[in-house]
Amino acid sequence: SALTNQGGRLRSGGVLTLRIAQALDNSLEGVLSGTGGLDIRALALDNRSGSIGSKGAVDIDVSRLENDDGDLLSEGRLKLTAERANSVRGRIAARGDLHASVTAFNQAGGELSSEGALMLEADSLDNRSGGLVSADGNLTVSARRIDNRAGEIASPGQVTLDVAEQLDNRG
C-alpha cells in the first residue's frame, strides 16, 4: 500500500504513527505533523518541498528518503534510519538529540542540526556546497567517506570525526 499526501495535511494532536508498505509521498508542500510525536515506517518517503514535524520525538525508518528543499523537524529528539537519503537544500533539525544512521547521505547545501548532541553514522556523506552539520552539544560523525568541500561540520562542544577512508575538506 502507498499513501499520497502531495500538498495535503495530515495532523494528529497526539502521536501520528504511519506504517506504509510502499511509498509515502508528502511532496509539494504536504504536511505531516503529530503534536505528541511522529513515528513513520515506509519503504520510501518523498518529502521534497514538504514539511514533517512534531513537538515531540520523531522516528523515521525508511529505505529511501527524498527531502530536497524539505523540512524534517522535531522539537524533541529525532532519529532517522535510511539506506539512502537525499536532502539537497533540505533541513533536518532537532531541538533535542539527533541520531541519523544513513548508508548514503547526500545533503549538499542542506542542514543537519541539533540543539543537543548529534550522532551521524554513514558509509558516505556529501556535505558540499554550503552543507551544514552542526550541534550545540557534542557532534560525532562516523563515515567511510566524507565530502565536505565548501561545507561545514561544527559544534561549540566536542567534535569527533571517525573517517575510515577519505575526508575531503577543501574550501
In the three-class reduction of DSSP (H, G, I as helix; E, B as strand; rest coil), residue 146 is classed as strand
Q: Please give the model's pTM, rounded to 2 decimal places.
A: 0.97
CA atoms within 13 A on the CB side of 133: 33
CA separation (Å) from 99 to 4, 13, 139, 169, 171? 27, 25, 10, 23, 27
Rounded-to-integer distance, Cα 156 and Cα 64, Å: 31
CA separation (Å) from 129 to 14, 68, 100, 111, 140? 38, 14, 21, 11, 21
State the Cα torsion 49-16-99-7 to the nearest 10°: 0
pLDDT band at 120; cut points 50, 70, 90:
very high
Question: Within a 10 A sphere around the Cβ of 70, how many other Cβ atoms?
Answer: 28
pLDDT band at 171; cut points 50, 70, 90:
confident
